[in-house]
Structure 1
Amino acid sequence: MDSNDVEFVNEEDEERVSSTTEPATVLITSNDEDTPPAVVADISTEDSKETLTHRGSASRGKVFSKDGDRPSTLKMIFGGRRVNRQSRMVDHDQRTLESAHGYQSVDDIDVTVSDHQKLENYVVYTVQTKTTRGDPFDRMYYTVRRRYKDFLWLREKLEEAFPAHLLPPMPEKLSMQRWTHFTPSFMIARQNGLNKFLQRIASHPVISFNEIFYQFLTTPDHELPDLGMDTAGLFSRMNTSLRTSLSAMMLRNPSAEFANTSDYVDKLRQQLEEVRKVEQTIADENAEMLSAMKLLSMALQDWLKVDNDVSDTLTAVTHCLDKQIQALEGSLAGIDPTVLQPLKEYYLYTDSVKQVLKRRDAVQMDYEMFVDDLRKKEEELDAARTTGQQDKITALETRVRDLSQQVDRKSDLVDIANADLKAEFDRWHSYKRMDMKEIFTEIADRQISYHQQCRDAFRETIEKLERGRGEET
């Protein structure tokens, strides 16, 4: 493929791609009106930029070359290695985008929040990483300690770098309903939530290659504050948050598809909360039954001490009850991390979805503002031509030309945000289907195991009682 096959946004992009051998990323805008735009592809700049591998949904796996058909208009949008919020450069190499738009995960970073420790008035969490990725990692194993606020900082930085990507939710800082701060149950639940948060990022085919994530996993504990954890950007973030919150209300042409997604997550949030509450109620009732069963066991043992006439029967029944207690304890022991916490995570995920939709709307609102400015300047230019004001005409022509380029650029960014977000939602729905199967399979397995143990305990007790009856006769 020669350089004439690619329409570059600016000379800087053209020069960078012409002089580098790194893969670059292009946006495919199909000439076919029925084919959705914003399909991401990878262009290999090796071999004189002759190969373009189409990664989009319309023609997955098809290879375009200078000798082949090229049914699309290509625009160079971003390329290179490092993340840049302004130009939306994407890390890190061809693998990331290929995997991202194939909805595949990466598995070369194994990260675990393995422990927690309370220190004075805060808690630190041990983060262990094993990786085979290579550059920029200079070894396979890392162990660091991080506070909850460090995880918050990581998520904020990733949100800035990837505004159109769906980031996993953080576990809540406090839960006023069930736990007091720093209780063992609360800290274990938070540790599990932070562990899931990091694992989802580590498996992401784009975000896991981010420099900030690498620094979070590898920077020694005493050096982490040097990464920029301060409040200097607080007002900027507040302004951005306000802007994204207002964007959906100000859009002239809101996306029906993403509006439907917003409605869906609202309904999903309600249903998840209802299911979680019911599961919690069942767990609480089972915990009360467990307490009652223990009291009954103690009462039977006390009876056994004073009545030898029914000692064999009481011993068998008490043994049966103790086995039921043991079975119920086992069933309740893992209900929180395997059922309730995963349901809570998806409940919090709905907030993440709403936020990323707002950020996408902000990108579109930015585009629409430039379209409005362009339209106004074109009207002013038409008026100036009518009156023959040459100086004003020259200035307005320059301004209209600049705005036209900006509008094209903003339009491309909207297309990229749409493509990123659609890919993210496909990944999220895929994860959700798998996780929900695991959650409800876990519920079923626990119920089956519990009732099987109870059945076996009853059968054993009946056999003992029948043998005793036979011996008496």
Structure 2
Amino acid sequence: MTLPQSTRVEFDLPEYSVRRRYQDFDWLRNKLEESQPTHLIPPLPEKFVVKGVVDRFSEEFVETRRKALDKFLKRITDHPVLSFNEHVNVFLTAKDLNAYKKQGIALLTRVGESVKHVTGGYKLRSRPLEFAAIGDYLDTFALKLGTIDRIAQRIIKEEIEYLVELREYGPVYSTWSALEGELAEPLEGVSACIGNCSTALEELTDDITEEFLPVLREYILYSDSMKSVLKKRDQVQAEYEAKLEAVALRKEDRPKVPADVEKCQDRVECFNADLKADMERWQSSKRHDFRQLLVGLADKNIQYYEKCLMAWESVIPLLQEKQETK
């Protein structure tokens, strides 16, 4: 795929054309999580978007996956910090990415190394109110989207079953028309009408499967990613609180705050600032994406019902003509 890139001095070309597999994107995300622990790393699309409904080998699924991976990469390259990460540079420019994977290049930041080695021995007393509010919001947000996702998948399954029935239902009128004289034309009209309704329903189902559900799943995973960063922040804060307590106990012996405590405090402040900035950026992106998503969903449903209405209205004149000739 062609990977777009902004015109920055560290890149030689405005865009790069390199071949990347799903596991390459997974490698990039893992490296970003390691080297940028204080930032929200966008989620990768799941390998199976709609289990039991979408064929993962179909062209539609491949195209849906491609769009989702493009979106993932765009979120990375648009980020004011992540876009400068050396792993992103390697991902976009390396002709042979496997060579870098085998090398296991160590690009962990000091903050990343510190967070990686934080043990579970520290227990946070309580989150600051603003971060507790973020945690509560993420829990509720993921719950609501999960419910919508499950219902939407049931609706799609029922629509597909209904579509199968429609495709069997329409031809019956056509074969019946061969036995009739005066009713032949109206019956053929009904058969064609049901065929048009079937096509419209198939298009609606495809749109929901390929456009609506992936966005829901992305933001459910996005909330999980944000919760992960929030937990890392809690771990660092708990470590900082434990170190402060230890210093307080031996205050007489060590009147000055040790350097490791100050470094831990810096990490907490770094987490707080980065998490709040990323949360604000995420909220802005969410508002934009869901506004587009819901408008598109409304338009697709309107188009579906308009097509069905036109199909059935086309049958009425045929029936009225037969009444007038009697």
- When the two structures are superposed, what TM-score results if normalisation uses the length of structure 1? 0.62
Answer yes or no: is 1:151 the counterpart of 2:25.
yes
Residues in 2 aligned to 1:453 and 1:263: alpha-carbon distance in whole angstroms: 43
2:304 to 426, 450, 458: 450
Work out whether residues 166 and 353 of structure 1, in 8 Å CA contact, stay in contact via their aligned partners in 2. yes
- The residue correspondences of 1:54-65 to structure 2 (distance < 5 A) are none
Matched AA of 2:73: L
1:168 to 22, 42, 50: 42
Query: Which segments of structure 1 move beyond 6 Å, counting only runs of 4 or more?
Result: 230-233, 239-242
1:1-45 C-alpha deviation (Å, 9 max, x unpaired): xxxxxxxxxxxxxxxxxxxxxxxxxxxxxxxxxxxxxxxxxxxxx
Q: Structure 1 residue 426: deviation in Å?
A: 1.1
- The residue correspondences of 1:36-185 to structure 2 (distance < 5 A) are 126=1, 128-173=2-47, 177-178=51-52, 183-184=57-58
Change (3 A) 1:190 1:243: farther
Partner of 1:283: 156
Change (3 A) 1:279 1:176: closer
Answer yes or no: is 1:217 the counterpart of 2:92.
yes
Matched AA of 2:162: M
Change (3 A) 1:255 1:179: same
Q: Structure 1 residue 441: deviation in Å?
A: 1.7
Change (3 A) 1:179 1:145: farther
Answer yes or no: is 1:208 the counterpart of 2:83.
yes
Indicate the structure (1 or 2) with the bigger Cα radius of gyration.
Answer: 1
Matched AA of 1:212: H
Answer yes or no: is 1:313 the counterpart of 2:167.
no
Residues in 2 aligned to 1:367 and 1:252: alpha-carbon distance in whole angstroms: 12
Work out whether residues 172 and 191 of structure 2, in 8 Å CA contact, stay in contact via their aligned partners in 1. no
Residues in 2 aligned to 1:290 and 1:167: alpha-carbon distance in whole angstroms: 39
Matched AA of 1:446: K
Change (3 A) 1:181 1:316: closer
Change (3 A) 1:133 1:162: same
Residues in 1 aligned to 2:176 and 2:295: alpha-carbon distance in whole angstroms: 41
Residues in 2 aligned to 1:323 and 1:334: alpha-carbon distance in whole angstroms: 17
Residues in 2 aligned to 1:372 and 1:466: alpha-carbon distance in whole angstroms: 89
Answer yes or no: is 1:368 the counterpart of 2:222.
no
Bigger CA drift: 180-189 or 315-324? 180-189
What is the number of residues matched between the two proteins? 320
Residues in 2 aligned to 1:198 and 1:281: alpha-carbon distance in whole angstroms: 31
What SS class does the counterpart of residue 87 from structure 2 fall into? helix
Change (3 A) 1:173 1:290: closer
Q: Structure 1 residue 188: deviation in Å?
A: 4.3
1:445-468 C-alpha deviation (Å, 9 max, x unpaired): 111111111111122221233234
What SS class does the counterpart of residue 145 from structure 1 fall into? coil
Residues in 2 aligned to 1:173 and 1:231: alpha-carbon distance in whole angstroms: 25
Q: Highest relative contact order (Cα 8 Å, sep 6+), 1 or 2? A: 2
Matched AA of 2:130: E
Partner of 1:265: 138
Bigger CA drift: 223-232 or 314-323? 223-232
Work out whether residues 144 and 217 of structure 1, in 8 Å CA contact, stay in contact via their aligned partners in 2. yes
Change (3 A) 1:453 1:174: closer
1:208-243 C-alpha deviation (Å, 9 max, x unpaired): 1222112101110xx21232457899xxx9x96794
1:146-178 C-alpha deviation (Å, 9 max, x unpaired): 222211211111112221211111123457943
1:196 to 71, 91, 99: 71
Residues in 1 aligned to 2:123 and 2:206: alpha-carbon distance in whole angstroms: 49
Work out whether residues 179 and 186 of structure 1, in 8 Å CA contact, stay in contact via their aligned partners in 2. no
- When the two structures are superposed, what TM-score results if normalisation uses the length of structure 2? 0.87
Residues in 2 aligned to 1:162 and 1:241: alpha-carbon distance in whole angstroms: 11
2:265 to 411, 419, 424: 411
Residues in 2 aligned to 1:408 and 1:417: alpha-carbon distance in whole angstroms: 14
1:418-448 C-alpha deviation (Å, 9 max, x unpaired): 1111111111112222222222222211111
Partner of 2:109: none
Change (3 A) 1:151 1:446: same
What SS class does the counterpart of residue 329 from structure 1 fall into? helix
Identity fraction in percent? 34
Work out whether residues 316 and 465 of structure 1, in 8 Å CA contact, stay in contact via their aligned partners in 2. no
Work out whether residues 115 and 232 of structure 2, in 8 Å CA contact, stay in contact via their aligned partners in 1. no
Bigger CA drift: 155-164 or 173-182? 173-182
Gaps in structure 2 of 5+ consecutive residues: 107-111
Matched AA of 2:192: H
Work out whether residues 16 and 92 of structure 2, in 8 Å CA contact, stay in contact via their aligned partners in 1. yes
RMSD: 2.9
Structure showing the higher helix proportion among its residues: 2
Q: Structure 1 residue 132: deviation in Å?
A: 4.3
Residues in 1 aligned to 2:320 and 2:202: alpha-carbon distance in whole angstroms: 28
1:175-214 C-alpha deviation (Å, 9 max, x unpaired): 7943799532654443333222112112212211222112
Answer yes or no: is 1:293 the counterpart of 2:166.
yes
Work out whether residues 49 and 217 of structure 2, in 8 Å CA contact, stay in contact via their aligned partners in 1. no
